[in-house]
Amino acid sequence: MTQRIAVVGGGIAGLTLAALLDPSRFEVTIHEAQPERAVAGSALGLWGAARRVLRRIGALPETSFRPTAGALHRLDGRRLVSLHGPGPVLVDRPTLLAQLSSAVPSSVRRLTEEVTHPATLDADLIVGADGVRSRVRGLVEPSAAERVATSYVALRGIRCGTPGSGEVGEYWGGGRLCGIAPMPGDRTYWFTTHRSTLTEPFEVAQVLDEAREQFTSAAPVVRRLLDEAGPDTLATALWVAPRLASYARGRFVVIGDAAHAMLPNLGRGACSAIVDAATLADTVNSGGDLRRWQARRVPATQLARVGSAALMRTALATP
Ligand SMILES: Cc1cc2nc3c(=O)[nH]c(=O)nc-3n(C[C@H](O)[C@H](O)[C@H](O)COP(=O)(O)OP(=O)(O)OC[C@H]3O[C@@H](n4cnc5c(N)ncnc54)[C@H](O)[C@@H]3O)c2cc1C
């Protein structure tokens, strides 16, 4: 008998999973509350394992770009260490989501709806790919249902023009950090993080004003980016998932941010979501055991979660 799989959330994790599940064996439905969110967003750095999955399903954006050199600086611009060699490849997030969406077979049903009670879904397997606010996580581990607040806010933007080679890299110190990278099409991707007293929903202008105040001692290139940032800047409060010891229970499974939302410092959140989805699809397609799947994915992704937090602390504690 054909099994029914309900995927709650059609973001990076949910779309990758739906693209890879065997349509001849499974009836797959994606429930996505806000499909219009897919066109919003800036850039993402993708590491090798995630790129290999995307290549396999023909969803790696061709316009991806890999900066090969940069430096770690103190916030004021003094160079701490040069960074050489291939880092992550930068891709446009809306392009990535569009390509993932095109890779989903036409047999997959797509419903635009918010799932409020995942336990009532009529499916043999219910996959929570529903991000850090996951409703499915509580069905896997009731004590980990709620997301965890941090005091950090991230700003992200893309502006015209390529950064100078001496400007590329990260700027750390005194509770703030900034990253600057070249993007394809003669553009610059930048992000900042600082401790904020503001609460969601944010007015971008207010967050920018707060950041400009907090970055007054930063390198000129950082201050210029913030001064020139406009209303298209993305302001995001950073939330993380609580620690989870398992990602599957009964007919419920969580992947991506639902399982292990982490601070963005290692650039591993979306990468881990893509690898979770691909390995889960391979396991389910081959009739494998979900316990064996999670025995591999839980340690790898919880380590990234802890490592990202440690890197954030180091970056912000740099004098
Ligand atoms: C500032 C910043 C920079 C980052 N940079 C990087 C980077 O460079 N590299 C990297 O790998 N990662 C990065 N990340 C992390 C990355 O963005 C996330 O890990 C990734 O988006 C997680 O994808 P997801 O599909 O698991 O969750 P989401 O992207 O959160 O998708 C979840 C989807 O589920 C839907 N949904 C939620 N609840 C329901 C419901 N009840 N019913 C129906 N639909 C629902 C939502 O609308 C959404 O579309 C960064 C994150 C931040 C904040």
The answer to whether 212 touches 225, Cβ cutoff 8 Å, is: no
Domain endpoint, select from 238, 267, 284:
238
In a domain, 82, yes or no: no
Nearest Cα residue to atom 41 of ligand 1:
115
Query: Which residues are CB-neighbours of 50 under 8 A, at least 6 positions away?
Result: 270, 271, 272, 274, 275
Residue-level pLDDT at 68 = 65
Same-domain status, 183 and 276: no
Answer yes or no: are the C-beta atoms of 9 and 15 closer than 8 Å: no
The greatest distance separating any two alpha carbons of the chain, rounded to the nearest whole angstrom, comes to: 64
Instruction: Quickly list DSSP for 34-97.
Output: -GGGGG---EEEE-HHHHHHHHHTT-S-TT-B---EEEEEETTS-EEEEEES--PEEEEHHHHH
Amino acid at 31: H
> Which residue has the least CA distance to atom 51 on ligand 1?
264
Quote the pLDDT of residue 87. Answer: 78
My answer on whether 51 and 178 are in the same domain is no
Q: What is the position in ligand 1's atom list of the atom closest to the CA of 273?
A: 26
Q: Do 141 and 161 lie in a common domain? A: no
Q: Measured from the CB, is residue 8 less than 6 Å from ligand 1?
A: yes
Residues 193 and 154: their CA atoms lie apart, in Å, by: 4
**30/121 Cα distance (integer angstroms):** 12
Distance 131 CA to ligand 1 centre (A): 5
**What is the predicted pLDDT for the residue at 69?**
76
Question: Which atom of ligand 1 is the closest one to the Cα of 156?
Answer: 1
Paired tokens of 305:
């979660």
Q: Which atom of ligand 1 is nearest to the CA of 154?
A: 1
Name residues of the chain where pLDDT drops below 70. 1-2, 63-68
Q: What pLDDT is attached to residue 89? A: 87
CA of 240 to the centre of ligand 1 (A): 11
**164 CA to centre of ligand 1 in angstroms:** 30
Chain-centre distance of CA 97, in angstroms?
Answer: 12
Say whether both 312 and 170 belong to one domain.
Answer: no
- Domain with 110 in it: what CATH number? 3.50.50.60
Q: Does ligand 1 lie within 6 Å of residue 17's CB atom?
A: no
Q: Is 224 in the pocket of ligand 1 (CB under 6 A)?
A: no
* Confidence (pTM): 0.96
**138: containing domain:** 3-66+89-148+240-317
Q: Indicate if ligand 1 lies below 6 Å from the C-beta of 271.
A: yes
Residue nearest to atom 20 of ligand 1 (CA): 270
Number of structural domains, the chain? 2
User: Domain containing 224 — which CATH number?
Assistant: 3.30.9.30
Residue 2: predicted pLDDT? 65
